[in-house]
Amino acid sequence: MHLSDFHLGVPSPGAEAVEKAVEWTVERRPDLVVVTGDLLTHPRGEPALRDLVERLPQPTVAILGNHDVAISRDPQAVRSDLADLAPATLLRDEGTMLELRGRQVWIAGVHPRLIVRRRAKLDPNTLSREADLRILLCHYPRVFDALEPGRFELVLAGHMHDGQIALPYPGGKLRFAHLSARYPRGVFSGPAGVMHVSPGLGTTFVPFRFAARPEATELTLRCT
């Protein structure tokens, strides 16, 4: 189950969407739950976040997003920068090996400073390890362009909100939050592998969505 962009701690209908997503995830009983960042917009949402995480099936693996460390133009964003999220595993430029259905699954996650503001960056390719399946979690979809073929089979990202406020038109829609985004939502394939970009559950800047529904995504992986 791929969840993303809770943005807890500020008034938003996203809090109800996150609650429903967690309930549905519990019902579906997935082998793995991942949360790809922007858990909190304000630290006041941490108690609610921890309650939700305790209810999620294990294993759950999460990373931080730009709002968690207040690298954002959103005036509501206040740094929380969680150090742990037990019982979930919180990854910050590191990885964890899981055994799922008899297979070794390596999950690596990057800190949001990886790409933002042109700071010194970690090469995400260095996080790869030998395993039956290698998954990279990064809040930003554009990490996909930095990956070398054969490093990861699957990339999971968020951040885009599917534009959050969009204007539909025949054959597509204009996504106002990210007008020129290459990877706004859904599944993408390329030399680096396959990536799923979650539309997320919460909101930023303004507390509503239009033509960009929140979503918890169940992904079914098959050997080829």
Residue 86 and residue 84: Cα distance in Å, rounded?
6
Mean pLDDT for all residues in the chain = 93
Ranges under pLDDT 50 in the chain: none
- pLDDT tens for residues 77-121? 999 979 999 999 999 999 999 999 999 999 999 998 765 555 557
What burial class does residue 75 get, using C-beta atoms within 10 Å of its C-beta: 0-12 exposed, 13-18 middle, 19+ buried? exposed
Question: pTM of the predicted model, to two decimals?
Answer: 0.94
Provide DSSP, 102-130.
TEEEEEEE--GGGTGGG-----GGGG---
Q: What is the pLDDT of residue 118?
A: 52
Q: Are 10 and 76 in contact (CB under 8 A)?
A: yes
What sections of the chain are H helices per DSSP?
14-28, 46-55
Report which DSSP code applies to 217: B
Closest by CA position to 39, among listed 3, 74, 75, 1: 3
The domains located in the chain, with CATH, are 2-197 (3.60.21.10)
The answer to whether 183 and 141 have CB atoms below 8 angstroms apart is yes
The H or E element containing residue 44 is none
